[in-house]
Amino acid sequence: MKRYHTHLIIFSFLAMILFACGKSSKINYVTIGTGGVTGIYYPTGGAIARIINKKRDKYKIRASVESTGGSVYNINAVLSGDLEFGIAQSDRQYQAYYGKAEWTKKGPQKKLRSVFSIHPESVTLIASVKSGIKSIKDLPGKRINLGNPGSGHLQNARDILKSFGIKESSIKAEFVKAVESAGLLQDERIDGYFYTVGHPNGSVKEATSGRVKVRLVSIGGKEIDNMLNKYSYYAKSVIPFSMYPNSANKEDIVTLGVKATLITSSDVSDNIVYAITKEVFDNFAEFKKLHPAYQVLTKKNMLRGLSAPIHKGALKYYREAGLIKYIDKRLLK
């Protein structure tokens, strides 16, 4: 009997060790929702995933990237738990957290959390020279792709039309993904399209490099000044014409823009959010090299343009790194 109890104790001890080892080696799988493969969201998500996956043995995190319909999809999927992280425009983040636009009926989405902001995104109107579109006021009667449902650029286009007093019904509107727009423009099936994106961008390069001559249209005037005063998440933006040497532009394009932001939910583990935040910021120089749009990034401006409270896991890192002083106090909930 004594021998039996000894064996039982040894067996129980070994079982506890094996359980502990199994528990410690558990991999946490996380998915980052991005956007179309020709935009910047997709490579941005890929860059974040590669950085954290290099430390898989340390953090037990395996990140993957999913191409999605964009900001609205990513926000809803993060809130429902279908995605752990998503990339979304700063204006969409604001609207979701405060229950506006698509979230008016659902109400404020208080589980939404910010991690950090990334590159600036300019609201870009690309049009064929043949269409005669030289300003927003030229859009009535033209065939314009406003953007696919669930995308940030669809709401941006609608905001701009509203600011100019242009009814959507006065435009021959299309609602397809931005990835299809360049081809449609070159096939002369549309006269122009809106795309909120960081620059330089592959789709815009494709649009400006074909048979049909194309220009990027400046978006300015008192209407836009009023819009900037009304919506805090918009800011003036300039696209250097030198980025698109095949376009008809001879000077920089003046417009407005928002910021791409990495979002998550309050339900996601503090440890996971901390690890991703730490690895991106600790490998900041490497991260900046991954895309031309990142060259304007600083650690300070990656904490600006956020509307939802910052996740506790990210806050832990920002306190350790001495970056907390750059964060709006309203986001420290």
User: Domain check: are 131 and 237 in the same one?
Assistant: yes
User: Domain check: are 138 and 240 in the same one?
Assistant: yes
Domain end: 258, 284, 310, which one?
258
Give the model confidence (pLDDT) of 165-217 as tens digits.
Answer: 999 999 999 999 988 999 999 999 999 999 998 888 888 999 999 999 999 99
User: What pLDDT, on a 0 to 100 scale, did the predictor assign at position 4?
Assistant: 47
What's the CATH number where 225 sits?
A: 3.40.190.10
User: Domain count of the chain?
Assistant: 2
Q: What is the dihedral of CA 153, 159, 162, 167, to 10 degrees?
A: 20
Give the model confidence (pLDDT) of 41-94 as tens digits.
Answer: 898 999 999 999 999 999 999 999 999 988 999 999 999 999 999 999 999 999
User: Domain check: are 215 and 225 in the same one?
Assistant: yes
Q: Which residues pair with 86 in a beta bridge?
A: 33, 263
User: What pLDDT, on a 0 to 100 scale, did the predictor assign at position 221?
Assistant: 92
Q: What is the dihedral of CA 88, 92, 97, 103, to 10 degrees?
A: -120
Task: With respect to residue 192, please indicate whether it lies within any of the assigned structural domains.
Answer: yes
Task: With respect to residue 5, please indicate whether it lies within any of the assigned structural domains.
Answer: no
Q: Residue holding tokens 């299809």?
A: 180
User: Domain check: are 201 and 153 in the same one?
Assistant: yes
Task: With respect to residue 93, please indicate whether it lies within any of the assigned structural domains.
Answer: yes
User: Domain check: are 138 and 106 in the same one?
Assistant: no
User: What pLDDT, on a 0 to 100 scale, did the predictor assign at position 8?
Assistant: 47
User: Domain check: are 273 and 326 in the same one?
Assistant: yes
The two three-digit tokens of residue 311, written as one number = 């996740």
User: Domain check: are 234 and 286 in the same one?
Assistant: no
User: Domain check: are 173 and 128 in the same one?
Assistant: yes
State yes or no: pLDDT of 7 exceeds 80.
Answer: no
User: Domain check: are 211 and 111 in the same one?
Assistant: no
Residue 131: how many other CB atoms lie within 10 Å: 22
Task: With respect to residue 74, please indicate whether it lies within any of the assigned structural domains.
Answer: yes
Q: Which one is predicted more confidently, 26 or 275? A: 275
Task: With respect to residue 4, please indicate whether it lies within any of the assigned structural domains.
Answer: no
Cα distance between residue 304 and residue 258, in whole Å: 11
Give the model confidence (pLDDT) of 249-275 as tens digits.
Answer: 999 999 999 989 999 999 999 999 999
Task: With respect to residue 8, please indicate whether it lies within any of the assigned structural domains.
Answer: no
Task: With respect to residue 275, please indicate whether it lies within any of the assigned structural domains.
Answer: yes
User: Domain check: are 130 and 231 in the same one?
Assistant: yes
User: Domain check: are 131 and 115 in the same one?
Assistant: no
Task: With respect to residue 21, please indicate whether it lies within any of the assigned structural domains.
Answer: no
User: Domain check: are 291 and 187 in the same one?
Assistant: no
Domain end: 241, 258, 275, which one?
258
Question: For the residues 216-237, what does the mean pLDDT come to?
Answer: 89
Domain that holds residue 230: 121-258
Model's pTM, two decimal places?
0.78
Q: Is residue 317 packed enough to be buried (19+ CB in 10 Å), middle (13-18) or exposed (0-12)?
A: buried
Domain end: 234, 258, 282, which one?
258
